[in-house]
Amino acid sequence: MLCYVSNTSPKVRDNVSPLHGDNRWELHMNDKYRWAAGRKIVLIHGAAATSRIWRLVIAELHVSLPYTRILVPDRRCTGNMDKETDDLWEACSGALVVGVSGGATLAWALASRKCPMLGMIAHEPAAGNLCPGLLSYAGSAWSESTLNPVRRATLFGERLYGTQWNADELPSDVAAVSRDYRMFSQFNPAPPRINPSVITLTIGALSPKIRYDAAQAYEQTFGIPSHTLAGAKHCVQLEQPRLFADVIASHLLAATSKQSLA
């Protein structure tokens, strides 16, 4: 199992700015820049989050991958997997698709529908019947009947992502969190219909055993191993943004090099 290790602590760089309120983020790019051929990344957020959760990774990618188009959609969180993947299809076509948690689940769903993506990085996707109970602890937040909807959504996020996450990451529509949870908890992964060689699964080195059980189930079922990310758990975008950005950059550069040689 390959282990990615960061030798420097993450540092936030002030090169990201909010657009259209707090839920839309993109890189500062001069209009005269031309995007490098084939260099497009789509970052997909999961439940209890918006595009804002990618801000630290975006800051790192701005430095390591200039001239790269980076799309960070705010999902509608419809609760319907087909609608969500339909929404993402055009953006993800020809892109390196990157997701964490529910975002990773959507990336896998796109691959199983044969979305013509350049490649995929999925960090700890849902596993459905491959690993029953994977989302039970986080999902138990919805049984806390004495809590109001915002507090239940917050508790869900805390249990899913850990201490680096806080309620500032929640979408303005907190009902979206429960819709996402129901959708992802009902997800069962189908075989990917893209080249397995362009798929990278990752897992946090500090993630609990059940996440490793899920990773093992993915490998046994689909033949795709998970690479371990040092110092990370489930919320790798906030825990190890520089390390994750390095993984994204390496994958993109390798994929575009292969593409240019084809």
pLDDT tens digits for range 168-180 = 999 999 999 999 9
- pLDDT in the model for residue 19: 31
CB 61, CB 247: distance < 8 Å:
no
**Per-residue pLDDT at 67 exceeds 90:** no
- Model confidence at 255, in pLDDT bands (50, 70, 90)? confident
Give me the mean pLDDT over the 99-119 stretch. 98
Residue 152 lies in a domain: no
Residue 39 lies in a domain: yes
Q: Sign of dihedral through CA atoms 215, 216, 221, 223?
A: positive
Domain extent at residue 215 = 3-132+169-261
| Domain of residue 77, CATH code | 3.40.50.1820
Residue 146 lies in a domain: no
Burial class (CB in 10 A: 0-12, 13-18, 19+), 253: middle
- pLDDT in the model for residue 128: 97
* Closest C-alpha to 50, from 81, 18, 82, 28: 18
What amino acid is encoded at 150 in this protein? V
- pLDDT in the model for residue 39: 84
Query: How far, in Å, CA of 155 to CA of 138, rounded?
Result: 8
- Model confidence pLDDT, tens digit, residues 29-60: 333 334 455 589 999 999 999 999 999 999 99
- Model confidence pLDDT, tens digit, residues 81-94: 999 999 999 999 99
Residue 154 lies in a domain: no
Report how far apart, in Å, the C-alpha atoms of 31 and of each of 14, 17, 27, 71, 183 are. Answer: 19, 16, 12, 16, 38
Residue 210 lies in a domain: yes
- Give the chain's mean pLDDT: 87
**φ, ψ dihedrals at 144, nearest 5°:** -80, 80
Report how far apart, in Å, the C-alpha atoms of 187 and of each of 146, 174, 180 are. Answer: 28, 21, 11
- pLDDT in the model for residue 36: 52
Residue 207 lies in a domain: yes
Burial class (CB in 10 A: 0-12, 13-18, 19+), 19: exposed
Rg (CA), the chain: 17
What's the number of domains the chain is made of?
1
What amino acid is encoded at 160 in this protein? L
Residue 159 lies in a domain: no
Q: State which H helix or E strand residue 204 sits in.
A: strand 199-204
Q: Which two tokens stand for residue 169?
A: 């990451």
Cβ-Cβ contacts under 8 Å for 103 (sequence gap 6 or more) = 43, 44, 45, 46
- Model confidence pLDDT, tens digit, residues 120-159: 999 999 999 999 999 999 999 999 989 999 999 999 999 9
**Per-residue pLDDT at 104 exceeds 50:** yes
- pLDDT in the model for residue 256: 83
**Per-residue pLDDT at 106 exceeds 70:** yes
- pLDDT in the model for residue 22: 35
Residue 148 lies in a domain: no
